[in-house]
Structure 1
């Protein structure tokens, strides 16, 4: 299991705690500190498309119109913290966010 998120994100911390309590020990990739590989970014965008971009974030609001018009892969390459989080890879499948459907799938 791999976990893409931010150490400072409350939702990420909450989901990591729940995963640990249910016997999971994911490899944590902090997208701010560690970044995203091209392969991981491509996989996330292939799975979720534009939904992978957090357009409600302060980072998004601070972008220029030119940056906002860029393809999602380029925007995430420049600003990996714009990714909605967490993204969890488990048994070959990617999950976005920490809503009930993701919790049910990963926690049982």
Structure 2
């Protein structure tokens, strides 16, 4: 079964859920705020998606970080920040079991 990683208040996540529902795709929801992000789950993502692709530099969480945390960002620092602040992951993340799709735009799930 696919898993959709979201933040429930996120409008793009809501659109992704609607798209999956319209296609009749069965999935489970994992809310990054409520359910958190384990180290093993983050590593699972990072085995399939480049770390800088996962890091959401447009998020409120990113904007609220200390300037020292945002300076000289590299893969290790990004990993540490995402572990400490799960809302720094771009979302939604759809793990189909075969691939992980990051973000959502209309039509992204048409091939599923």
TM-score interval, normalised by the smaller of the two chains: 0.7 to 0.9
1:13 to 2:2 alignment: no
- Root mean square deviation, CA, Å: 1.7
Q: Residue 64 of structure 2 corresponds to which residue in structure 1?
A: 62
Alignment of 1:49-88 (within 5 A): 49-68=51-70, 69=73, 71-88=77-94
Higher helix share: 1
Give the CA deviation at 1:45: 2.5
- TM-score in terms of structure 1 length: 0.86
Structure 1 residue ranges without an equivalent (≥5)? none
Higher relative contact order (CA 8 A, sep 6+): 2
- TM-score in terms of structure 2 length: 0.84
Q: Show structure 1 runs of 4+ deviating over 3 A.
A: none
Count of residues in Structure 1 that have an aligned counterpart in Structure 2: 106
